[in-house]
């Protein structure tokens, strides 16, 4: 049998492993930052209507420019951030991962580098690698915030073409201060000019306002968002960006024609009609996230302040052993490889209770 090592794959892919959060069949799955609430029945009905309408013209390619969807996304951003966004500032793709890929294909690539401040979302580095972009790992403080001075220094010295700022940051939950983003943007313009990508996949869960208004007057700043988390539609695969219209024009150079299917566009439009209900679930999840923080602290654990729908907690002498022990209690959380820490996604109140019971049992076992 042929193994991958026998194939003439690109040198930089040799010996690497693909992204792979375990998809295990356990009673409580709190490992991939999904929204635990299924879509409400009236939205499911509306999706069925919109998709049947789209099915009548599936013999044709979809709207290549996704005009109606981009208008609806622009209205959503305007309404929820108070910052006026127009359709020509918005671009959509199959998940924000595809948006990030298109951005790296456009602004990174062979001979160029991208920097992220780690631990952060591992796909930034993986997509960089997939697009032939060199990856640079920038520093974070021990409390997982970005050390602005150290980050500015790293940008000045390494002159990356792309700077990733994940806020709230996955896996730590840490939000990034507006002033830090502004300092990194200035450093990136002085060193490059380079693009700054603010990944706001968890923006709706934050205690703080969106960083979106920073795109005003900053053509090299992009904010990426997703319907996978707040909209509870991870299965839909719909991500988007907001930036200067020139950025939207630039990604047209690399996007595949008709990349966003008519079914995806119809489903996303239906979901956007139900924004208020879906944001109601976000409010519940924020309360549950805060409860998880309180209860984990009360158990004597160290908890990283979270602006997202998940919580990083520890410290464990052997985080992987704790991950395994929780799994044996029927609860799947995430071991992101951050020493001594694990990450739990805020689930339904019942799922969170089951998680907290499992943590109590496991910490009792290990301290006995």
Ligand X SMILES: Cc1ncc(COP(=O)(O)O)c(C=O)c1O
Residues that bind ligand X (CB under 6 A): 33, 95-97, 121, 166, 170, 199, 201, 226, 228, 234, 239
Residue 298 C-beta: closest distance to ligand X, Å: 27
Helix, strand or coil, per DSSP, at residue 335: coil
Structure tokens at 328: 């044996």
Residue number with CB closer to ligand X (191 or 232): 232
Residue number with CB closer to ligand X (106 or 174): 174
Residue 342 C-beta: closest distance to ligand X, Å: 16
Residue number with CB closer to ligand X (170 or 312): 170
Please state, in angstroms and rounded to a whole number, the distance separating the CA atoms of residues 325 and 346.
19
Please state, in angstroms and rounded to a whole number, the distance separating the CA atoms of residues 60 and 54.
10
Q: Phi, psi at residue 138, to the nearest 5°?
A: -90, 165
Please state, in angstroms and rounded to a whole number, the distance separating the CA atoms of residues 134 and 80.
35
Helices (H) and strands (E) in the chain, counts: 11, 12
Residue number with CB closer to ligand X (168 or 295): 168
Residue 201 C-beta: closest distance to ligand X, Å: 3
Residue 225 C-beta: closest distance to ligand X, Å: 8
Is the Cβ–Cβ distance between 144 and 341 less than 8 Å?
Answer: no
In the Cβ-directed half-sphere of 64, how many Cα atoms lie within 13 Å? 8
Dihedral over Cα of 279, 280, 281, 287: its sign: positive
Q: Phi, psi at residue 226, to the nearest 5°?
A: -150, 155
Contacts of 87 (CB under 8 A, 6+ apart): 67, 70, 71, 74
Residue number with CB closer to ligand X (72 or 166): 166
Residue 3 C-beta: closest distance to ligand X, Å: 29
Residue number with CB closer to ligand X (102 or 226): 226
Residue number with CB closer to ligand X (66 or 191): 66
Residue 125 C-beta: closest distance to ligand X, Å: 12
**Got the DSSP string for 202-247?**
TGGG-SS--SGGGGTT-TTEEEEEESSSTTS-TTT--EEEE--HHH
Residue number with CB closer to ligand X (174 or 295): 174
Q: Phi, psi at residue 342, to the nearest 5°?
A: -130, 165
User: Which residue's beta carbon is nearest to the bound ligand X?
Assistant: 95
């Amino acid at each position: 049998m042929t193994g991958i090592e026998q194939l003439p794959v690109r040198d930089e892919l040799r010996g690497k492993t693909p992204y792979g959060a375990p998809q295990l069949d356990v009673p409580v799955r709190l490992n991939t930052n999904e929204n635990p609430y299924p879509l409400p029945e009236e939205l499911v009905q509306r999706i069925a209507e919109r998709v049947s309408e789209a099915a009548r013209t599936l013999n044709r390619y979809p709207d290549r420019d996704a005009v109606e969807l981009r208008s609806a996304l622009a209205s959503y951003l305007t309404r929820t951030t108070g910052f006026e966004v127009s359709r020509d500032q918005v671009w959509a793709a199959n998940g924000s991962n595809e948006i990030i890929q298109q951005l790296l294909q456009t602004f990174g690539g062979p001979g160029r580098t991208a920097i992220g401040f780690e631990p952060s979302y591992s796909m930034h580095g993986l997509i960089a690698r997939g697009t032939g972009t060199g990856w640079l790992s920038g520093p974070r403080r021990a409390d997982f915030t970005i050390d602005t001075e150290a980050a500015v220094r790293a940008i000045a010295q390494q002159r990356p073409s792309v700077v990733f700022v994940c806020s709230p940051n996955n896996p730590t939950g840490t939000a990034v201060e507006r002033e830090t983003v502004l300092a990194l943007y200035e450093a990136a313009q002085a060193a490059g000019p380079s693009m700054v990508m603010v990944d706001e996949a968890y923006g709706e869960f934050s205690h703080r306002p969106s960083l979106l208004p920073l795109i005003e007057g900053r053509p090299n700043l992009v904010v990426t968002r997703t319907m996978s988390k707040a909209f509870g539609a991870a299965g839909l695969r719909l991500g988007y960006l907001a930036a200067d219209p020139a950025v939207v024009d630039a990604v047209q150079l690399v996007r595949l024609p008709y990349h966003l299917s008519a079914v995806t566009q119809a489903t996303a439009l239906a979901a956007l009609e139900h924004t208020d209900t879906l944001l109601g679930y976000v409010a519940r999840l924020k309360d549950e996230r805060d409860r998880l923080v309180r209860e984990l602290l009360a158990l004597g654990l160290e908890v990283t302040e979270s602006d997202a729908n998940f919580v990083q907690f520890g410290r464990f002498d052997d985080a992987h052993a704790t991950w395994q022990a929780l799994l044996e209690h029927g609860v799947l959380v995430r071991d992101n490889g951050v020493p001594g820490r694990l990450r739990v996604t805020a689930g339904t109140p019942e799922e969170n209770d089951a998680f907290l019971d499992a943590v109590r049992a496991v910490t009792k076992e290990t301290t006995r």
